[in-house]
Amino acid sequence: MAPTPCALCHTSRALIIRPKNHQKLCKTCFVTIFETEIHNTITANSLFHRGERIAIGASGGKDSTVLASVLKTLDERHDYGLDLVLLSIDEGIKGYRDDSLETVKRNALQYEMPLEIVGYDELYGWTMDQVVEQIGKKGNCTYCGVFRRQALDRGAARLGIKHVVTGHNADDIAETLMMNLLRGDLPRLARATGIVTDSTASEIKRSKPLKYAYEKEIVLYAHHKGLDYFTTECIYSPEAFRGSARTLIKNLERIRPSAILDVVRSGEDMAKLVPEGVGGGSKRAKDVVVIDGEEEGPGGCGSANGRASGGEMAAMEQKLRDDEKAQENEVEITVSTLNGQRHEGTNTVPKQPRTKAPRTMPKQQMGNCSRCGYLSSQAICKACMLLEGLNKNRPKMQIQVGVDEEDNSPTLTRRMEGLTIPPG
């Protein structure tokens, strides 16, 4: 086949075919247009202001590495006047995160950005290795997701930074949208499309400058720019690789590449149709819904910090399974919370069939967690709740917290209040 010339410069050989419009571009023109489009996203949404300090949630993976590289390039090219910092979370997973952190350390040198690493061990007293040792591999992503969310905020707060950018890309958002659509989760459907996440659950603003960037183009950008990024799966969530929403999106892309952005745009349109009280547009509704500050779901499983990927999918699959087996779950709880039958009859949890409707949004006030002081809508924040479970050696708790983040926590609190757990 004769080489195709670039559609823009008409001189160099085209190496890239753009998924969104089939445009055939040479390497140089592709790199330029990729950066320009992100610049357009940034300016159209007024994501940054001059002098702003920005923490880039950096995992060492492709998305956050490309984000850091592009933001540095654009900041210099267009004189944004930004103060860029890399913020990494060390979940404490040997053979996985320690390797990827080495990549982030190299990135910090390559991009001349300061690097802050926040460890689960220092924040929570538990590494993920220890958590998994205690609760097993099943459901550990819930812990990781809850912990990570807070860890990014705390890391930013430690640096005095109020804005964290993450590497979520168009594919991630399309996947999340499909999941929320399929499970009829209107509040999340409404929120998943936003380029900026701003809620009172957190003083830290989040944004996604790569929201309209195809994963394919991110990988090609990293390849053609020779960026140094890390790829390995989290050793605790191999199933994330097979997430069915992910597979669906990639299959759609193979048939019609523009489908990914079409899904993102449709999601934005659908978000506008979500009634206010359900958690769409109004700030107040958002405040209520994001009670645990976790609107992206447990974003564990080795994705870019907070990036919605397979882990969220795994969480959804878990939720679907659990929804089907709600009854079984109830039984599990009754049994598991007791650590034995000694207390049968005295401490049995009353069976409370989980009712789906009416799903009233509790009017909650944001306050501070009575344990750690972190912003929380509940007396005790979700991380502390999980920690309490860990510390008391009650592994099954995670299933309840992980399954119904939005409406189950009060129930859980009630249940916990009704229990007396023998020490040890």
The CB-of-1 to other proteins minimum distance in angstroms stands at 6
- The number of beta carbons lying within 10 Å of the beta carbon of residue 423 is 4
Q: Are 56 and 87 in contact (CB under 8 A)?
A: yes
Nearer to other proteins, 232 or 370 (CB): 232
Q: What is the bridge-based pairing of β-strands 24-25 and 375-376?
A: unpaired
What is the residue whose two structure tokens read 């195709």? 4
Interface residues with other proteins (CB under 8 A)?
Answer: 1, 4, 13-17, 24, 27, 59, 61-65, 167, 171, 215-216, 218-220, 223-224, 229, 231-234, 240-241, 246-247, 250-251, 253-254, 301-304, 307, 309-311
The CB-of-235 to other proteins minimum distance in angstroms stands at 11
- The number of beta carbons lying within 10 Å of the beta carbon of residue 112 is 8
The Cα–Cα gap between 305 and 68 comes to 13
Nearer to other proteins, 63 or 404 (CB): 63
Phi, psi of 28 (to 5 degrees): -65, -45
The CB-of-53 to other proteins minimum distance in angstroms stands at 23
- The number of beta carbons lying within 10 Å of the beta carbon of residue 29 is 21
Q: Are 271 and 280 in contact (CB under 8 A)?
A: yes
Q: What is the bridge-based pairing of β-strands 196-197 and 367-368?
A: unpaired
The CB-of-128 to other proteins minimum distance in angstroms stands at 14
Nearer to other proteins, 304 or 338 (CB): 304
Q: Are 130 and 272 in contact (CB under 8 A)?
A: no
- In this structure, what token pair is assigned to residue 230? 């890390």
The CB-of-6 to other proteins minimum distance in angstroms stands at 11
The CB-of-76 to other proteins minimum distance in angstroms stands at 23
Q: How far is CA 136 from CA 126, 141, 390, 393, 405, in A?
A: 14, 11, 12, 12, 21
The CB-of-106 to other proteins minimum distance in angstroms stands at 15
The CB-of-240 to other proteins minimum distance in angstroms stands at 7
- In this structure, what token pair is assigned to residue 81? 């006047």
Q: Which residues pair with 25 in a beta bridge?
A: 16
3-class secondary-structure state, position 108: helix
Nearer to other proteins, 247 or 282 (CB): 247
Nearer to other proteins, 307 or 382 (CB): 307
Nearer to other proteins, 6 or 399 (CB): 6
Nearer to other proteins, 190 or 213 (CB): 213
Sign of the Cα torsion 141, 143, 146, 151 reads negative
Nearer to other proteins, 258 or 413 (CB): 258
